[in-house]
Structure 1
């Protein structure tokens, strides 16, 4: 494995990252099935485990800054609107198994929404971002939520993320936190508050996403392998008549052991 393909040391995960707040997702640790499978190296082929994450929200709420802070450890104060969709891949090493998190950063402008919507399909995670300093961006969350679920039949993990915590006064933070938490409960999403400028909670958030999606992917793979194994076992145990020679069928019929 080359250095370019190896996960960074700070992307190595051995313990499950807990939620920041009350969460609709019960996972607090990797399941025993997942740990045993990874320990025994029974998690499928050598190929990477991959999960797709879509980041959506109104224009200028901080979607790109969030992604750039995690992927490149930088913060650009000069705002540049995303055109269409940007794409990043972050490599992790989780329980000694390689894992890729595909991060799709979508444009918030209305004119690009039809383009971005095409990338929602097949997503494992939808992250809806709002600006804690902009109450109107929180009001748009239900629209983004409905659109994302319409493209994925509701089969995704949902996260609601409030950005620009560093800009809030104490009172603004308390008010925005209360509204954001209520919205998260309404759409059944896990709620996070962070700052892309300072980096507060950014790594923990992405690690939490990686842990949940990895745990689900390996669990599903182990279940599929067990199901295939049972089917093979049932098939091999079927009662079949084996004919070794052409005359065997006549002999069997004459003995009265087989009838039509």
Structure 2
């Protein structure tokens, strides 16, 4: 009987594989100075317990695909995705920035974005599939009310300006304020990005960056300078965005799962029992429990309290009946 794995899609390109935490552009305006992923995230990725992967392995056989659980095999059941919103004035190069990253092209012929557009870019972060949904919003005032509806639910807000036009830098305050109004406080990573770096000399760029870094710190945002024309810093920037969004997503998953498993006594877990629970070895122990609780299997010896302490010598795992 023939058996093979079902591919989940085309492989991620090598430049979308992130194995180490990407560096920031400048420590003067940086969201995260650590050089490595959070310890809990690294462990979760190694164990494939990030909340973005399952333990099912799909095989193609003569009678159709089946799922077989294997203790040492983990493949994604669903791909995690973060929403990224790019905002800024007309002509600052939002579309060019996105197209350079997603398609590796640069179009000299300007064409204004009408309403909104988006791209989905796939990554592999620390061995885990991950995607960014990058929304390109119109910079024209007449489309602002339409675009603002798409700000909601963003995990990342990228506010862009033209390094050769300081007026667009001043306008980033309002763009960021508009985007934040559609999202809960503290839920978004913020980036301030200067575009068209290729049009300035090194000294002129540094002079503009001083003001941009100051504003980024006021916004509590991370600062980057990029060039869509040459591609300078574009891949590094979006890799940084993906890594930060991925790390927060995994940490939030771990926190949700830990809060869903309350503890009693010396730390034994209260587990949800799908089959209605199992009876205790000693039925007399039931009387000591609250109504509605069922005793499951005794805890392992490692979890039994020290007999020297003034606690019962046997610890029982408790399960809520379904």
The normalised TM-score by structure 2 is: 0.71
Q: Does 1:233 align with 2:269?
A: yes
Q: Does 1:162 align with 2:194?
A: yes
Mapped contact 1:13–1:95 kept (Cα < 8 A): yes
Identify the residue that residue 299 of structure 2 maps to in structure 1. none
Aligned residues: 243
C-alpha RMSD over aligned residues: 2.1
**What whole-Å deviation, never above 9, does each CA across 1:6-45 have from its counterpart, x for those lacking one?**
3222211110001111213344321111111111111224
Mapped contact 2:24–2:33 kept (Cα < 8 A): no
Q: Does 1:39 align with 2:89?
A: no
Q: Does 1:147 align with 2:178?
A: yes
Q: Which of the two has greater helix per residue?
A: 1
Quote how far apart the aligned CAs of 1:235 are: 6.3
**What whole-Å deviation, never above 9, does each CA across 1:52-111 have from its counterpart, x for those lacking one?**
100000001010010000000010000100001111000001111110100001000000
Q: Which one is further off, 206-215 or 5-14?
A: 5-14
SS of residue paired to 1:82: coil
Q: 1:82 aligns with which of 106, 113, 116?
A: 113
- Taking the aligned partners of 2:228 and 2:42, their CA distance within structure 1 comes to 32
Q: 2:255 aligns with which of 195, 210, 223?
A: 223
Q: 2:138 aligns with which of 107, 111, 128?
A: 107
Mapped contact 1:27–1:212 kept (Cα < 8 A): no
Unmatched 5+ residue regions in structure 1?
243-260
**What whole-Å deviation, never above 9, does each CA across 1:174-197 have from its counterpart, x for those lacking one?**
321112111111111100001111
Q: Which of the two has greater strand per residue?
A: 2
Unmatched 5+ residue regions in structure 2?
1-5, 55-76, 273-285, 293-322
Identify the residue that residue 21 of structure 1 maps to in structure 2. 26
Q: Structure 2 vs 1, CA of residues 235 and 88 (structure 1 numbering), >3 Å: closer, same or farther? A: closer
The normalised TM-score by structure 1 is: 0.87
Quote how far apart the aligned CAs of 1:159 are: 0.2
Q: 1:203 aligns with which of 208, 220, 235?
A: 235
Quote how far apart the aligned CAs of 1:215 are: 0.5
- Taking the aligned partners of 1:12 and 1:170, their CA distance within structure 2 comes to 30
- Taking the aligned partners of 1:38 and 1:116, their CA distance within structure 2 comes to 35
